[in-house]
Amino acid sequence: MVKKNRRFLLLIAVLAAVTLVLVILLLFRGRKSGGSGDFMSEVPLAEVVEELKTDAFPAVDWTNVLEQQGNSVITKKTAVQIVEQLGAADYIEVPGRGKRHVLTREEWCGLYDQLLDYLDMTEVVQKASILILDTVEAKEQGILVTNEGDYTTVLNLAAFETWKSYEVYCVENRCVGIAGYADEETAIQNAYLKACTPESIGFLYDGAAYEKSMEQAPQLAAGVYDFLFLDGEIVTIREKKDKIYGNLLSYDAEMIEIQGYGKVNHENRIPVYQIFDGVVEKSISDVVLGNMEATYITGEGQVCAILLEKPASIANIRVLLLAEGGGKFREDVWIKATEEADVSYGEQKSVLTPGEVLQASGYFGAQAAGTLTVSTKTPEGRLYLCDAAGEVMTNGYRGTFEVRHYEQGSAVVNELPFEEYLYGVVPSEMPSSYAPEALKVQAVCARSYAYRQLLAADLAAYGAHIDDSTSYQVYNKVAPSESTTAAVNATAGQVITSDGEVADAYYFSTSMGYTGTADVWNITDTDRYRYLQKKCLNESEFAGDLSKEEDFAAYIATSPNGYDSGIKFYRWQAAANMTDQTAEVQEILENRYQVVPQSILIYRDNESEALSSPASLGALLSVSVDERNPSGALICLHLQYEKGYVKVKTEYNIRKVLGAFTEKVTYADGSVNEDVTMLPSAYCTVETGENGSLRFVGGGYGHGIGMSQNGANGMAKSGKSYDEILRFFYEGIEIETIKKESG
Please report the DSSP string for 81-147 in residue order. Answer: HHHHHTT-TTT-PPPSSSTTPBPBHHHHHHHHHHHHHHH-TT--SEEEEEEEEEEE--SSSEEEEET
pLDDT band for position 303 (cuts 50, 70, 90):
very high
All residues at 6 or more sequence positions from 24 whose CB lies less than 8 Å from its CB, including other chains: none
Euclidean distance between CA atoms 685 and 549, whole angstroms: 8
- Kindly report, residue by residue over 648-676, the tens digit of the pLDDT: 999 999 999 999 999 999 999 999 999 99
Residue 62 within a domain: yes
> Which of 239, 262, 280 represents a domain boundary (last residue)?
239
Q: Please report, for the domain that includes residue 174, its CATH number.
A: 2.40.50
Residues 681 and 593 in one domain: yes
Q: Answer yes or no: do 734 and 593 share one domain.
A: no
Q: Same domain for 356 and 429?
A: no
- Give yes or no: residues 357 and 275 share one domain: no
pLDDT of residue 366: 58
Q: Rounded distance, CA 67 to CA 78, Å? A: 10
Distance CA 704, CA 442 (A): 16
Residue 525 is assigned to a structural domain of this protein: no
Same-domain status, 664 and 727 = no
pLDDT averaged over the chain?
Answer: 91
Would you list the DSSP string of 475-492? -SSS---HHHHHHHHHTT
* 344 and 483 inside one domain: no
Q: How many domains does the chain have?
A: 7
Beta bridge partners of 209: 204
Higher per-residue confidence, 460 vs 366: 460
Question: Span 146-170, mean pLDDT?
Answer: 95
Distance CA 592, CA 585 (A): 10
Residue 742's Cβ-side half-sphere holds a number of Cα atoms within 13 Å equal to: 22
Note whether 334 and 283 are same-domain residues: no
Q: Are residues 230 and 269 in the same domain?
A: no
Amino acid at 478: V
Report whether pLDDT(223) > 60.
yes
pLDDT for 6 beyond 80: no
Q: What is the pLDDT of residues 683-699, one digit of tens each?
A: 999 999 998 999 999 99
Q: Could you give the C-alpha distances from 515 to 109, 538, 569, 649, in angstroms and in order? A: 65, 11, 14, 18
Say if residue 649 is in the same domain as residue 691.
Answer: yes
Query: What are the φ/ψ torsions at residue 611 (nearest 5 degrees)?
Result: -100, 170
Residue 217 lies in a domain: yes
Distances (CA, A) of 11 to 2, 21, 162: 14, 15, 50
Residue 654 falls inside a structural domain: yes
User: Would you say residue 263 lies in a domain?
Assistant: yes
Single residue among 377, 407, 437 that ends a domain in this structure? 407
Cβ atoms of 337 and 376 closer than 8 Å: yes
pLDDT of the residue at 28: 40
pLDDT score of 451 more than 60: yes
How far apart CA 718 and CA 564 sit, in angstroms, is 12
* Mean pLDDT score, 362-371: 76
Q: Which domain holds residue 489?
A: 409-505+722-743
**For residues 273 and 192, is the Cβ–Cβ distance under 8 A?**
yes
Higher pLDDT, 109 or 347: 109
Q: Residue 740's pLDDT is what? A: 64
Name beta bridge partners: 221: none
Instruction: Report the predicted TM-score, pTM, of the whole model to 2 decimal places.
Output: 0.83
Model confidence over 562-596: pLDDT tens digits? 999 999 999 999 999 999 999 999 999 999 999 99
Per-residue buried b or exposed e for 626-641, using 16+ beta carbons within 10 Å of the residue's own CB? eebbebbbbbbbebeb
The rounded distance, in Å, linking the Cα atoms of 3 and 7 is 6
Length of the chain measured in residues: 743
Whether the per-residue pLDDT at 147 is higher than 80: the answer is: yes
Q: Could you tell me if residue 145 is inside a domain?
A: yes
In a domain, 527, yes or no: no
Cα separation, 388 vs 397, in Å, equals: 18
217 and 270 inside one domain: no
Max CA distance (Å), the chain: 133
Average pLDDT over residues 522-543: 92
State mean pLDDT over 161-170.
Answer: 96
Q: Are residues 378 and 433 in the same domain?
A: no
Of all residues in the chain, the percent with pLDDT exceeding 70 is 93
In a domain, 613, yes or no: yes
Per-residue pLDDT of 456-509, as tens digits, reads 999 999 999 999 999 999 999 999 999 999 999 999 999 999 999 999 999 999
* pLDDT value for 1: 47
Does pLDDT of 557 surpass 70? yes
Give CA–CA dist 75/43, Å, rounded: 9
Among the candidates 119, 139, 161, a domain finishes at 119
Summarize the chain as % helix, strand, coil (round to 5).
25, 35, 40
For the chain, report the end-to-end CA distance as a whole number of angstroms: 94
Q: Are residues 304 and 260 in the same domain?
A: yes
Residue 561 CA to residue 569 CA, distance in Å, equals 14
State how beta strands 707-708 and 507-508 pair.
Answer: parallel
